[in-house]
Amino acid sequence: MRNSQPQSPVSSIGERLPGADPRASMTQLFESLRPDLLRFAHWLARDRSLAEDIVQESLLRAWRSRDSLKDRAAARSWLLTIVRREHARLYERKRLELVSLDDALDAPGKAAETDGDLFTLRHAIMRLPIEYREPLLLQTLGGFSTEEIARELALSSTAVLTRLFRARNKLRVICGMTPAPDTSAEVAS
């Protein structure tokens, strides 16, 4: 079989093992779901090569813990979850350079940046009182959860949620939009 067609190592592993066992069918299952995983990873990452890396890492993780998959019918959702988590891990490792917001806004920017919605939004955010600006920036730019913001600012989760709601309402007013109704005031009365 010198000139036989090359086969994928993943899809042909079951044929090479003597007495193909259930692991070979697991390999076929993983290989059949690979296009779905790749589409999902591409949607998440917006980059084909990055999506391929994510899927490869995800399949390695799935293969190592294949014994934890009890129901083959749940394999697709199990693998999609692994892909989503692998995509998130990618950004856990990637640390972006931090820049002071005051310095960034004071720095002379391009003329195009001073026009439009982005400049208006940045200016509106900087006009917020610090007690509202801080949790909003931690959530939107830092990606912190409500609990993480609460720990960082020594507040309760409820206080953080309230400040985030009020910050967004103040931004709406600054930008000339109608603020969202405060339903907690209606419930209290």
Three-class DSSP category at 60: helix
- Burial track 62-81 (b if 16+ CB lie within 10 A, e otherwise): beeebeeeeeeeebeebbbe
Whether the CB-CB separation of 8 and 31 falls below 8 Å is answered with yes
Whether the CB-CB separation of 83 and 37 falls below 8 Å is answered with yes
First to last CA, the chain: 83
pLDDT tens digits along 144-175: 889 989 998 999 999 999 999 999 999 888 88
The pLDDT value recorded for residue 114 is 54
Q: Where are the domains of the chain?
A: 10-93, 101-182
> Domain 10-93's class?
mainly alpha
How far CA 143 is from CA of 19, 91, 139, 156, in Å, comes to 50, 11, 5, 18
Residue predicted with more confidence, 34 or 187: 34
Question: Any idea of the CA torsion for 63, 67, 72, 74, to the nearest 10 degrees?
Answer: -80
Which segment of 30-44, 52-66, 85-99, 155-169 scores lowest on mean pLDDT?
85-99
Q: Do domains 10-93 and 101-182 have the same CATH topology?
A: no
pLDDT tens digits along 109-136: 544 455 577 788 888 888 899 999 999 9
Query: Sign (positive/negative) of CA torsion 40, 46, 48, 50?
Result: negative
C-alpha span between 59 and 94 (Å, rounded): 21
CATH placement of domain 101-182:
1.10.10.10
Could you say which DSSP state residue 94 is in? -
The region, left, alpha or beta by phi > 0 then psi within -120 to 50, assigned to residue 29 is alpha
